[in-house]
Amino acid sequence: MGRIIHVELTAADLGRAATFYAEAFGWQPEPSPFIEGYLVAQTGEGEGIDGAIMSRDYQQQTTIAWIEVDDLDASLDAVVKAGGTRAGEVQELPGVGRLAYVRDLEGTLLGLRQ
C-alpha cells in the first residue's frame, strides 16, 4: 500500500519560508547535503512525517506529498496504466533511495520513493 511518508513545501523565498516554519511550528530546516535550494526539516517527535522546503525553481506546485512504494518501476507503470503520467526521470538519492515524480489525473504532482 502506498503510505504518505514525506511532504515538500515549495517557496519563492527559501529563507523567509524556513524562518516562518521555525517560528510558527518549531521546525529546524537544514540544508540538504545533496540538493542546492532544498532544506530538510525535522517536524517533531512521535508519529507523523518530516518534511522539506524547496525552491520553486524545482517545482511550482506548493505542496507535494511523497508516497513510499515497494517497487518504483512497477509503481510508475501502474500510474501510467491508471491514466497518470511520469513527471521527470528516476533519481537516486544516496542514503534515501530511488525517487520519481508523477502526476495524477487532476494534474497533482506526487513523489514516489522506493
Same domain flag for 58 and 9: yes
> Residue 101 burial by CB count (10 A; 0-12/13-18/19+): exposed, middle or buried?
buried
CB burial of 6-40 (b: ≥16 within 10 Å; e: otherwise) equals bbbbbbeebeebbeebeeeeebebeeeeeeeebbb
Residue 43 has what pLDDT?
A: 85
Same domain flag for 55 and 9: yes
Same domain flag for 99 and 54: no
Residue 31 has what pLDDT?
A: 95
Average pLDDT of the residues of the chain: 92
CATH number, domain with residue 54: 3.10.180.10
Q: In which domain, by residue range, is 4 found?
A: 1-65
CA-based torsion, 12, 16, 19, 22: positive or negative: negative
Residue 64 scores a pLDDT above 90: yes
Same domain flag for 9 and 51: yes
Residue 17 has what pLDDT?
A: 92
Q: Indicate the number of domains in the chain.
A: 2
Dump pLDDT digits (tens) for 6-62. Answer: 999 999 999 999 998 999 888 999 999 999 999 999 888 888 888 999 999 988 899
Residue 42 has what pLDDT?
A: 85
Residue 13 has what pLDDT?
A: 93
Same domain flag for 57 and 99: no
Same domain flag for 34 and 78: no
Q: What are the helix (H) ranges across 2-108?
A: 14-25, 72-81
Same domain flag for 8 and 39: yes
